[in-house]
Amino acid sequence: MKYTLLGITLLLLTTCEAPNVTGGDSDALSVLEETRSKMLTTPTHQYRFRSFWDNRFASSTYEESMEVTYSWLPESQQGFGYHVTGGNTDLLYDGQDELKIDHVKRKVVRVSATEIATRTDYFTSKLCFRADPKALPEVAAIDRSVDTIIGGKNQYAYFVSTEAPAKSQVSSWVYYLDPKQKVVDRIQIVSHVGRDTSQLIDYFFSDYVFSDDQHAFGASDRPGSLAYREVNRAEDKKERNSGLIRPGAQLYRADYTSIEGEEKLIYGESAQKTVVMFGFIGCSGCALAMREMKKKSFAVKKGINLFYSSPVDNATKLRTYLKQKEFPFTSFGKESLMNDNFRVAGFPTFVLIDGVGRVERVIGGYDTEVETMLFE
């Protein structure tokens, strides 16, 4: 809702500045053509991309931000390449293969040039290109233009309407251009079904950097992920469909951020084995396990490192809870995203891992098997 209010506020600001509305103002159309030319002919450009979605029918909001580097590569298969960073997954396309770099699973999924060529919508379906600052409308497609000031900044706004009769939906696209810098500042999409507003989407672009040199996408763009394991799409699909963590599984990531904000290894520092207890606050079985372990003063036997992980509770809340339980070992909250690499079936679950990250046992609930595994 806050993004809706932001959009309304900006529109009010526009109105208060007494905009000059025309069907084809020569200055406005000149700025549009110059901006289109700059975005389409400059070999390389970088920018920050932020998106805000407000789906009225689903009563949901969504936001995302990323850094985009885009370069024309005339000799490549598609004629361009890009590097998109931000969040837990990066994308790197060198004009041939695309790499999906997953920082949570420490994995790189390679999509081959052959696979990409079989999908005509492969690039247009990506969020970073759903509102592409290079894909500005041609002059003939503009319904009207507005000379306005938003937040003290001169801008031209260009309106384009589209209809989807089958869905009784009308979408209004508004492109906000900076006439001084000749760049796209914002693209807003307002969708209506009948007389109801169904969705509001705002895309903001900032921090542009332009270069006349082509960018050679490659290893220099991803130094932090060169050590990640690489799989193809078929192998990735098999892994994603394999389901819950099982004995015999190989883990590929050992480092996670603890509730104290420190990077900790859950295996690999020694030959000792690891037991990770997955639980959450309010889980009765987890409370029982804590109570039983506390009776033994949490004195786990030699050769075992015990950790606690919650995919539900944040670090602040979990820190207070575990202090009350007198749990003395390193713990991880939902921010660590540890469960994304484990996918346990229920809570509590105890996972025994050897020194090289191979899962030896997965035990649901706290019973004599867990007790024997942890204590003398």
What would the pLDDT profile of 189-237 be if each residue is shown by its tens digit? 998 887 788 889 999 999 999 999 999 999 999 998 999 999 999 998 8
Judge whether 356 lies within some domain: yes
Which range marks the domain in which residue 340 is found?
245-374
pLDDT confidence of residue 165: 67
316 vs 320: CA distance, rounded Å: 7
Judge whether 226 lies within some domain: no
- pLDDT, one tens digit per residue, over 139-163 is 999 999 989 998 889 999 999 988 7
Are 85 and 66 in contact, with CB atoms under 8 Å apart?
A: yes
0.85 exceeded by pTM: no
72 and 210 co-located in one domain: yes
Sheet of 349-353, strand order? 331-332, 304-309, 273-278, 349-353, 359-364
Judge whether 232 lies within some domain: no
CB atoms within 10 A of CB 96: 15
208 and 291 co-located in one domain: no
Judge whether 229 lies within some domain: no
189 and 276 co-located in one domain: no
Domain of 7, CATH number, reads 2.50.20.10
Distance of alpha carbon 121 from the chain centroid: 20
27 and 140 co-located in one domain: yes
343 and 301 co-located in one domain: yes
Domain boundary among 221, 253, 276: 221
Please count the structural domains in the chain: 2
Q: Which string of b and e fits 171-209 if b means at least 16 CB within 10 Å?
A: bebbbbbbbeebbbbbbbbbbbeeeeebbbbbbbbeebe
pLDDT confidence of residue 10: 39
- pLDDT, one tens digit per residue, over 105-132 is 899 999 999 999 988 888 877 767 777 8
Judge whether 131 lies within some domain: yes
Q: Count Cβ atoms within 10 A of the Cβ of residue 308 and give its class: 0-12 exposed, 13-18 middle, 19 or more buried.
A: buried
Distance of alpha carbon 197 from the chain centroid: 27
170 and 277 co-located in one domain: no
- pLDDT at 20 exceeding the cut of 50: no
Are 205 and 183 in contact, with CB atoms under 8 Å apart?
A: yes
